[in-house]
Amino acid sequence: MSSDMQLEEKLKFQFKDSNILERALTHPSMGKNRPNYERLEFLGDSVLGLIISAELFNRYPNEAEGELTKRLAGLICGDTLVKVSQHLGLAEHIIMSESEKTSGGRDNKANLENVMEAIIGAIYLDQGFEAAKEFVLREWASLIDKMVEPPKDAKSALQEWAQGRGLPLPEYVVTKQDGPSHAPDFEISVTVQGYPTEIGTGNSKRIAEQQAAAKLYSALNK
């Protein structure tokens, strides 16, 4: 059985265009002349956010925006993407250069996160929104079910962490804004003095800030 067929079995999804799947699995280290997952990653991030947002909106009709935002941030953050990627065994299917492999590329969480988003984008391109929705809700079902209460606000948790160590408050900076005014896409960085920066993305500043804070708080507590 080919690697693509094995992966499609794991995904429970058969691509009409195998080239889209190959692109979703191709790491940028393969060179500028070979299409890679970066554009599909961008698309998949937005598709995932919309699907999860709609599911939470319908599932929790009495929750305020702030509570829904906390749930969303926890379900689309990097750590969650890595968990789903690992569950599906995507690492062994990533197409990468030998130098990337030897530097630990298959265990690199950023690679796992990026490929997961790219797969979602690829499914959307190959067979449309409903196919992507079916895939996401199937793979995220247990994660949504286990989130009985909205997780603690990541920004508050990060602020408390910094203050508890006598550090200045976390600093948030909008590093990129794309898309039209009615459907923007934000990239926001967060920094705590003396520690590495983390990046969050989302279709609102609040979501991007929460995602960035969640990633940094998780990294600081490992």
pTM of the model: 0.74
Q: Is the pLDDT of residue 152 over 80?
A: no
Kind of pairing, strands 198-202 and 171-178?
unpaired
For 169-211, what is each residue's pLDDT tens digit? Answer: 999 999 999 877 766 788 999 999 999 999 998 878 888 898 8
Which residues, including other chains, have CB under 8 Å from residue 21's CB and lie 6 or more apart?
A: 4, 7, 8, 15, 119, 122, 126
pLDDT at residue 201, as a whole number: 87
Which class does domain 154-220 fall in?
A: alpha beta
Instruction: Please give the positions annotated as active site.
Output: 45, 117
Q: Is the pLDDT of residue 136 over 90?
A: yes
Place of tokens 């200045």: 168
CATH code 1.10.1520.10 region(s) in the chain: 3-146
CATH number of 3-146: 1.10.1520.10
CATH code 3.30.160.20 region(s) in the chain: 154-220
pLDDT at residue 175, as a whole number: 94
